[in-house]
Structure 1
Amino acid sequence: MTEQPEVESIWPVQDQIAAYLRDGILNGDFQPGEPLPSSRKLTERFGAAAQTIKNAMGILEKEGLIYTRRGAGIYAREHRQRTMTPAEYKTPPTDGGKYQWIAAAERKGLAGRSELLEVEEVVPPHLVREAFGLGEGATAILRRQVMFLNDEPCELVEVYFPLDLGQGTPIAERRRIKGGAGRVLAEAGLPPLRCVDKVAARWPTPHQQQALKMPTKLPVLRQFRVTYSTGDRPIQAEFMIKAGHLYELEYEF
C-alpha cells in the first residue's frame, strides 16, 4: 500500500488506524488473506500504544474486515462492499417482476430483498416540498422500506409521492406492490423520464443507524433523487440512505 505523508488529524488515534487499514482493504491494497501491517509498524507510523492498536482492530473486526490467526497475526478479510450502478434501476420492470435493484444483486451472486416498514401521509422534509412545489404543512405519501443484501440491511429508502398521484392507488396502501410504485405511475401515463441525484456523505441519524444496524461509527451515503415524467413533472422524490461499508456507487458519463 502506498504510504501517504503524515498529517495532523482531529480523530482519536484508534480511529486513524482503523481508517487507514479500512481504506486499504476496501481499495484492494490489502488483499483477502493478506497480513496487515504489524503492531510495530503501526506504532512507528501512528505513535500508538498497544491498547490503542487493539481498539482499532476491534473496530475493524466488528465491521467484518479482518480476522485473527492465533499466533500468526491479523489478516484482511474479503470485504462486503459492492458496486451498484443507480442509472440501471430507475425504470420499473415491464413484466411486474422483481425490483431491478434485486435482480442486479442476484446477478452478482447476492440475495437481495426488501422489507416494507411504513406507508403513511406525512408532511415531507423541506427538500421534498421544494421538489414538489408544496407549501408549509402540505402533505405527501411516504413509503419507507429497508433493503437487504444476504439478509444484512444495507439501505433505508424513503420515497415520497404527490397526493394527487398516490391517493386511491396501491401506492397509498400498506402492502408490497408487484413491480414497484414506478409501475403504477407508468401505467397511469407517467413513466420515469429524467432523474436528478444528489449524493452526500453523512453521519447517520439514530433512526438510520438502528435501521441499518451499523456495526461501528461509520458514515452513510445519502442519495436524494427526484424523478420527473411527462412535461417534466416531478412524480416522486426519495432519500436512499446507504450503509457506507456495504456500498459504492458507479456512474458512467
Structure 2
Amino acid sequence: MHLGSLDRSGDRAPYRQIADQLRAAITRGELVAGDKLPSEAQLMKHYEVARMTARQAIQELRSEGRVVAEQGRGVFVSQPVQVRRLASERFARRHREAGLAAFGVEAEKTGFTPRVDQLEVSTASPPDEIRDRLRLGDGGDVVVRSRRYLADGQPVETAVSYVPASIAAGSPIVADDTGPGGIYARLEELGHELDHFTEEVSARMPTADERRRLQLTDGVPVMVVLRTAYDTTGRPVEVCDTLKAAPAYVLEYDIPAR
C-alpha cells in the first residue's frame, strides 16, 4: 500500500492522520481482510514519529474493530461478519415449520455458518423488568436460556430468553437442544400460537464481561434488542434480551406505508 505524509501544520494529531490513511486504504480495498498492516517500526520510519504515535494510530483502528492484533505475528485487517437481520422476516411461521430458528434463517440468507455455544438453562426468579414484561405479578419463576451465537466461528451475539415456568416446565424448552424451529416452535406446540413481537433497540458500550464474551476491542459498541413475544390471546410468552456486536450486524426493517 502507499503511505502518504503528515500535515504537521494542521490541528489534527499525527496519530489520527496516520489512522485516517490506514483506514482509507482499507476502505479503498488496498488492504483487505487478512492483510498485515505496516508494523510500528515501519510507521515510525515512514512518518518520522515516536513509537507511541504509531501505536496510538493502530489502537484507533483496533477500537473501531477494523484490525486485530495477533501475538507475535502483527496486526491484520479484520474479517468482518455481516449478519443481515430482517426483523419482518426472521420470525415467519414457515421458517419454524421448516425447522429453522431465527439465527438459522439469517445464516441461510447471509451465507455464514451458525453455531451456539456457552449454553446454560436454569429456572429462576426473573429480574423485575422481565417479571413486568411477562406480567407474572409477585410470583412465578421463569426458565432462563442463556447462549452465545457464533457466525463462522466468531462471537456476534449473546441472548437470554425468559419463558414462564408455568409454560415451559417439563417441555423441550428446558432441554439443551429445544429441537427444530427452536423455542418458538415449541411454544406453538404447547398451544401458544404466536401472534406478534415487540422489539426495543438501543446502543451502549459493553461491560468488561460482555466485551470478553463477544471478543470486542476497546471502544466497540453493542446493540441491545429487547424482544417480547405474544400469543394470540395477547399473553406475553417470552422475553429475549439480546446483545449484538455492532460491527457484525445490519438491522433491516420492512415497514409498510399504510
TM over 0.5: yes
SS at match of 1:196: strand
Distance, in Å, in 1 between the alignment partners of 2:202 and 2:149 is: 19
Are 2:191 and 1:189 equivalent residues in the alignment? Answer: yes
Distance, in Å, in 1 between the alignment partners of 2:249 and 2:19 is: 16
Equivalent residues of 2:96, 2:182 under 8 A apart? no
User: Counterparts in 2 of 1:122-137, with a 5 A limit?
Assistant: 122-136=124-138
Equivalent residues of 2:81, 2:151 under 8 A apart? no
Are 2:80 and 1:83 equivalent residues in the alignment? Answer: no
Are 2:245 and 1:243 equivalent residues in the alignment? Answer: yes
1:155 to 142, 154, 157: 157
Q: What one-letter code is carried by the residue in structure 1 that aligns with 2:55? A: K
Q: 1:21 to 1:151 in 2, by over 3 A?
A: farther
Q: 1:116 to 1:232 in 2, by over 3 A?
A: farther
Distance, in Å, in 2 between the alignment partners of 1:160 and 1:50 is: 50
Equivalent residues of 1:116, 1:175 under 8 A apart? no
Are 2:30 and 1:33 equivalent residues in the alignment? Answer: yes
How far has the Cα of 1:167 moved from its partner? 0.8
Extract unaligned runs of 5+ from structure 2. 1-12, 38-42, 69-74
Tell me which residue corresponds to 1:119. Answer: 121
Are 2:207 and 1:228 equivalent residues in the alignment? Answer: no
SS at match of 1:241: strand
Distance, in Å, in 2 between the alignment partners of 1:190 and 1:66 is: 45
- With 163-172 and 84-93 compared, the bigger mean Cα shift is at 84-93
Tell me which residue corresponds to 1:56. Answer: 57
How far has the Cα of 1:185 moved from its partner? 0.9
Q: 1:174 to 1:34 in 2, by over 3 A?
A: closer
Aligned length: 225
1:165 to 164, 167, 183: 167
Equivalent residues of 2:84, 2:110 under 8 A apart? no
Distance, in Å, in 2 between the alignment partners of 1:127 and 1:233 is: 16
How far has the Cα of 1:134 moved from its partner? 2.5
SS at match of 2:56: helix
Equivalent residues of 1:33, 1:76 under 8 A apart? no
Equivalent residues of 2:158, 2:244 under 8 A apart? yes
Tell me which residue corresponds to 1:5. Answer: none
Extract unaligned runs of 5+ from structure 1. 1-11, 68-73
Equivalent residues of 2:199, 2:226 under 8 A apart? yes
Equivalent residues of 1:59, 1:216 under 8 A apart? no
In our comparison, the structure showing a higher alpha carbon Rg is: 2
How far has the Cα of 1:200 moved from its partner? 0.8
- With 153-162 and 208-217 compared, the bigger mean Cα shift is at 208-217
- With 111-120 and 134-143 compared, the bigger mean Cα shift is at 134-143
Distance, in Å, in 1 between the alignment partners of 2:200 and 2:217 is: 25
How far has the Cα of 1:34 moved from its partner? 6.0
How far has the Cα of 1:115 moved from its partner? 2.4
How far has the Cα of 1:18 moved from its partner? 10
CA RMSD of aligned residues (A): 3.7
Equivalent residues of 1:197, 1:225 under 8 A apart? yes
Equivalent residues of 1:32, 1:76 under 8 A apart? no
Distance, in Å, in 1 between the alignment partners of 2:76 and 2:97 is: 45
Are 2:66 and 1:65 equivalent residues in the alignment? Answer: yes
Distance, in Å, in 2 between the alignment partners of 1:18 and 1:89 is: 41
Equivalent residues of 1:34, 1:75 under 8 A apart? no
TM-superposition CA deviations, 1:77-127 (whole Å, max 9, x none): 664344321222223534452324223323322111222511101122232
Q: 1:237 to 1:30 in 2, by over 3 A?
A: same
SS at match of 2:30: coil
SS at match of 1:245: helix
